[in-house]
Chains A and B, each alone.
Chain A
Amino acid sequence: MTMSTTKSSHGPLMLKGMLATVLLVLILPLMPYVFAVNTDVSSSVAGSVPNPGADLWRAVRARDGVVAGSSQVKGVETGVLIDPAGKAWLEFRKEKLIPYSAYVFAGVASALLLYFLLHGRIRIKAGRSGVLVPRYSRYERWVHWIMVVVFMTLALTGVILLYGRFVLIPLLGPEGFHMTAQISKWLHDIMGPIFIISLIVMAFTFFREAICRCKVDMIWFLRAGGYLGGKHPSSGKINAGQKAWYWAVVLGGIVLIGSGLVMYFPNFQQGREIMQNANMIHGLAAVFVIAFMFIHIYLASVGMEGSLECMTSGNCDENWAIEQHDLWYEEMKEEGRIGAQSSTEKQAQLPD
């Protein structure tokens, strides 16, 4: 009896107490919301309330370069919320590389034009002798002209992709330029690996001639190759300027290949920053080598009489050899290779 009365008197009370506790537990966390809803949002507090979202972004950004988080989406740098390096890369490309490279190309081209107008074509002073001196073998010429095709394709397509938006889109329209740009990108991608082989072959083919003969080359540089007046400095088979061009292509080419491969294979999990830097290096090296190429093309074509035929027919005129490459000419003479031509060299001499 007593048990049941205690039950009947205490049971509902306990239940009520438990219910009240549960309700309290449920409602209490909501109290601030009720409070907040009833308060005018635009009260004086609003001005001084920190914005946790902005604070979080700021804090994450302060840790630039570091992988700051993790993501269920797996992939390269998916944990990076914000990468400020892209801005620096963009500014470099838009505000430095594109305008300054244009100045460099225009500057070199106009300097060459000015030189041509003031100085004219460099003639063979003694006139053509009619005696031919074998200069480049058939193999060397093939190596050279294959390199020309590969390098010019790469340079042209690269330049199209660099300036196309500003120069070609106004001319061709976006759809028209799309085809040009797409073909340029494919060609650039295809020619890149061919350039690697071409460069290796070329580097070995002309290596022996491009080794520095320090004294001769130093004098050549000090006299600026005789291009700015004064006595023409002596030189071996190729002069110091040509050697500089060789090393510009070889070393520049190595830099271009290295940085190009970084961008060419995104599947090696390299991050954006590496590719941004590779792109900057690629651009700078390309501008340097292309600007140098202008000088090479100028001197090998309109700039100098008797130079282009060396690479087309393989032979040069005796007087040209004496004037431009005196030390080499003397070597050739000592070896008795002038006048006495082998059958293959005679074949090469034929106009083609």
Chain B
Amino acid sequence: MAAMKFYCDAERCIECNGCVTACKNVNEVPWGVNRRRVVTIKDGEPGERSLSVACMHCADAPCAAVCPVDCFYTTDDGIVLHDKDICIGCGYCFYACPFGAPQFPTDGAFSSRGKMDKCTFCAGGPLEDNSSEEFRKYGSNRIAEGKLPACAEMCATKALLAGDADMVSEIYRKRVVNRAQAALGKGAQLRYRNFGSKVDMKGKATN
């Protein structure tokens, strides 16, 4: 049983927001909803890094643990999905999620919450695969077509990795080691090559 995961390589992400655009384009998400966003840390300062964040498809998902109507389920691929026909739009998943993944279209008075919308790992929802109703509610189902999420496939620098956790971590591990080898090969110490201590949140806070 595979466990699908995203991983964003901060050493590669150039904050082009291509993933955000790809996601919106492929899934035709409701207005005001951003399933994915790129966050830049220490913008304009030494050590600036960007990360693309969406639903992390947690193994022990807090959203699923807190949902009062229990509308979340994990697929065989380890993708956390939810049933919009059961969701009541209470917003508890949004309180619980550390990554700010659950989004709510504001379709009522006083910005009252509609049914929750979040990244589906391009795996649609509980409805029939690639049916028009599934597309309307959850966006496209690329997983059913044998494709990976659009955001990762579109990523120009291959910073955003998506796929089986073992493969993603193997790719990332190789990258980390290669970079370290490269740095050491030039006679530099790791900490002078932006590895480790230099990538911290010290210095000016970028808000």
Q: Is A308 an interface residue (CB 8 A)?
A: no
By the criterion CB–CB under 8 Å, are A70 and B39 in contact? yes
Q: Is B66 an interface residue (CB 8 A)?
A: yes
- Give complex CA distance A177, B70 in Å: 10
Which residues of chain A come closer than 8 Å to B173, judged between CB atoms? Answer: 46
Which stretch from B3-11, B127-135, B138-146, B150-158 is at the chain A interface?
B3-11
Q: Is B106 an interface residue (CB 8 A)?
A: yes
- Give complex CA distance A164, B67 in Å: 10
Knowing A174-B71, A178-B69, say if A185 contacts B181 (CB, 8 Å): no
Minimum CB–CB distance for A33 against chain B, Å: 6
Contact residues of B between 5 and 30, Cβ < 8 Å to A: 7-11, 15, 17, 20
Q: Is B120 an interface residue (CB 8 A)?
A: no
Q: CB-defined interface of A47-79 with B at 8 Å, one 1/0 digit per residue? A: 001111101100110110011111111010111
Knowing A77-B100, A164-B69, say if A71 contacts B37 (CB, 8 Å): yes
By the criterion CB–CB under 8 Å, are A68 and B201 in contact? yes
By the criterion CB–CB under 8 Å, are A36 and B9 in contact? no
Which residues of chain B come closer than 8 Å to A72, judged between CB atoms? Answer: 15, 17, 20, 37-38
- Give complex CA distance A72, B17 in Å: 8
Minimum CB–CB distance for A283 against chain B, Å: 11
8 Å CB contact of A53 from B7, B38, B43, B83: B7
Q: From DSSP, what is the main secondary structure of chain A's interface residues?
A: helix
Q: Is A182 an interface residue (CB 8 A)?
A: yes
Minimum CB–CB distance for A46 against chain B, Å: 5
Quick one: which of A32, A84, A267 has the most chain B CB within 10 A? Answer: A32
Which residues of chain A come closer than 8 Å to B51, judged between CB atoms? Answer: 56, 81
Q: Is A141 an interface residue (CB 8 A)?
A: no
Q: Is A204 an interface residue (CB 8 A)?
A: no
Q: CB-defined interface of B50-90 with A at 8 Å, one 1/0 digit per residue? A: 01010000000010011111110000000000010110111
Which residues of chain A come closer than 8 Å to B194, judged between CB atoms? Answer: 52
Q: Is A139 an interface residue (CB 8 A)?
A: no
Looking at chain A, what size class is its interface with the partner chain? 35 or more
Which residues of chain A come closer than 8 Å to B42, judged between CB atoms? Answer: 69
Which stretch from A89-97, A194-202, A219-227 is at the chain B interface?
A89-97
Minimum CB–CB distance for B93 against chain A, Å: 9
By the criterion CB–CB under 8 Å, are A169 and B178 in contact? no
Q: What is the chain A residue whose CB lies nearest that of B35?
A: A73
Which residues of chain A come closer than 8 Å to B178, judged between CB atoms? Answer: 33, 36-37, 41
- Give complex CA distance A178, B110 in Å: 23
Q: Is A82 an interface residue (CB 8 A)?
A: yes
By the criterion CB–CB under 8 Å, are A78 and B37 in contact? yes
Knowing A41-B174, A45-B180, A71-B38, say if A162 contacts B98 (CB, 8 Å): no
Which residues of chain A come closer than 8 Å to B69, judged between CB atoms? Answer: 164-165, 169, 174, 177-178, 181
Other contacts beyond A52-B176, A86-B97: 13, CB < 8 A? A33-B178, A41-B177, A49-B190, A50-B180, A52-B194, A56-B51, A70-B43, A71-B39, A71-B40, A72-B38, A83-B98, A164-B68, A272-B94
- Residues of A whose CB lies within 8 Å of any CB of B are 31-33, 35-37, 39, 41-43, 45-46, 49-53, 55-56, 59-60, 62-63, 66-73, 75, 77-84, 86-87, 89-90, 93-94, 161-162, 164-165, 169, 174-175, 177-178, 181-182, 185, 189, 263-267, 272, 275-276, 279
